[in-house]
Structure 1
Amino acid sequence: MANMQLSSSTALAVRDPWALVPSLGNLDAYISAVNRLPMLSAEDESRLARRLRDQQDLDAAGRLVLSHLRLVVSVARQYLGYGLPQGDLIQEGNVGLMKAVKRFDPDQGVRLVSYALHWIKAEIHEYILKNWRVVKVATTKAQRKLFFNLRSMKRQMKGEAADGATHRAGLTEAEIDRVAAELNVRREDVIEMETRFAGGDVALEPGGDDDDESFAPIAYLADDRQEPTRAIEARRRDELAGPGLLRALDALDARSRRIVEERWLKVNDDGSGGMTLHELAAEYGVSAERIRQIEVAAMKKMKKALVEAA
């Protein structure tokens, strides 16, 4: 595997502290290094993307790429089941990431992580399509010999069939033993290769865009539970529901906070909620409508605080 770094051919000039990915021959060291790279805030990402778009600033492009290398590693892990090298999957994903950075428009109102996901997966899918073939089972010299000789041996055995009877497509047990003996491979290898020949290649994606009923491996290759954007959304949701909510409550005056907590956050031992509008109105000596108005104003203020913290 080639060194996992941005070489000079990418023309991405990277300055400290972003030049944290040295020339590495070890994949684990590379993954550890990219996970230590700092992430960009929405403001920094937008600023850098505009510098790249308007001024062709290659340093800005380098920062955008490096801050998203961990996303490529996460996506590449979803495709390890194909037996292809993880380093190659990551390298192809990095190509997709650089294509996404080149085409990213910060004025579209989406984060680069969402936009780049399509390009990263597209490059990895293309790599799998080009490399996942029946020949991949032939990893040893004996298996390669089996791969290149099995069909000719089947035709020969079919020609030897007695009385000119039509030979069945599959191999008999005796024929499997004969092939294994002549080519010096295991019976299991003969059976597996024969199965692969009989099944042929499977298209990774549906054959036609107009076929609504089509279903292909692309629909179930990736584990959606580990999909990066969903993981980011889940962490952000947990943040807003915990510390974010507390910060929003701290932005309220004492009366508004108590009204919100009684109306929306309090749960009694019997499962019932907090105080009603009329109960709060009686306590504060105002009308129920006034309590409702205070509640509405408090909720708007909390929403604004949560948006600013996002």
Structure 2
Amino acid sequence: MSSTQLQPMQQLVPGGDLSAYIQTVCSIPVLTAEREKELAEELFYQGNLEAARQLVMSHLRFVVHIAKSYTGYGLPQADLIQEGNVGLMKAVKRFDPEKGVRLVSFAVHWIKAEIHEYVLRNWRIVKVATTKAQRKLFFNLRSAKKELAWLNNDEVHAVAEDLGVDVAEVRRMEGRLSSVDIGFDADADDETGPVAPVHYLEDNSSDPALVLEADDWEESSHQQLSYALSELDERSRDILQARWLGENKATLHELADRYGVSAERIRQLEQAAMKKLRAAMEA
């Protein structure tokens, strides 16, 4: 396929000007059954990509029609159409002209399957359906709830029987459909939605008893540290202060030069001092 032939296909993308896209694809003539079969045979038996392009282009209007039925999920229509187009291309690739059915009838399944996957991935932060049965239940139950409020017991059993799932599964899915996503630490000033869970957590920073306990523990720790350091010999204390307590941490080699010993000896003295310090702190 030449770049000249590809250019119109590249321009047919449901991007910013969705109205222009829809107008363009709806202006592409629908193929007759004879021409469709001829193109399908060229693709199926000869791998003719130009035939595939014509089959896809002539069916883009049907993707738009199907995608419009999913506008109630609050997702961009352009994205729904784009996903449907992916399903259409998969259908064209797998279409067998000898089956005796029109391409549009065969492609509906593939178009809806791609749109369904997109909806389930993007409708909520938390997935509401993962198994095949749950996905079927999700779309059927959401369609039914456009006309109904909460299902009564008879309606729940009727849906479960029609779809071949447990009653408990229907009730769980109904609860998921009625729930909303909430950010854990959403802004407390946002009055348009539910209060974020983080705002229900207890704030212990202002509890007088806990504040006093923390201050006492900090003071006690400082006293223990001071006492433990005073029990060390002067060289060990200086090594720990230079290595851990000063703003500019000294290296082993710097301390080795200061005391006229090897860096390994400084490391041994440091480890021995740390061991004594931990023992004094834990006593």
Q: TM-score range by the shorter chain?
A: 0.3 to 0.5
Greater relative CO (CA pairs within 8 A, separation 6+)? 1
TM-score normalized with structure 1 length:
0.42
TM-score normalized with structure 2 length:
0.45
Structure with higher Rg: it is: 2
